[in-house]
Amino acid sequence: MAWSILDAPGTPDGPCKEPCRHLDCQANRRLAETTCRLCAKPIGYDAKFCNDPWRLGAEIHFSCMLAESEKRKSEGRR
């Protein structure tokens, strides 16, 4: 499973520090505000996240995905 990290605003690869009209900055901010369905916290910046393997089109924290995978494995589920 591949993971990604959103760089924090104002860093070289992150969105602009102040709100702007750049489409990529706006997309990064929206993604950072997306709620992980497993822990109910925002994806945020500088944290690993990935596509939710159990729900198409959603993102979750990578650590939450690993924990859920282990839980499902111990329960005999996929």
Residue ranges of domains in the chain = 4-74
Task: Output the pTM of the full model.
Answer: 0.85
Whole-Å CA distances, 75 to 1, 68, 69, 71, 72? 21, 11, 10, 6, 5
pLDDT at 76: 84
Mean pLDDT for each consecutive 10-residue tract of the chain (78 residues)? 93 95 96 96 97 93 95 85
| 33-40 contacts, C-beta under 8 A, 24 or more apart | 34/58, 34/59, 36/60, 36/61, 36/64, 38/64, 38/65, 38/67, 38/68, 39/64
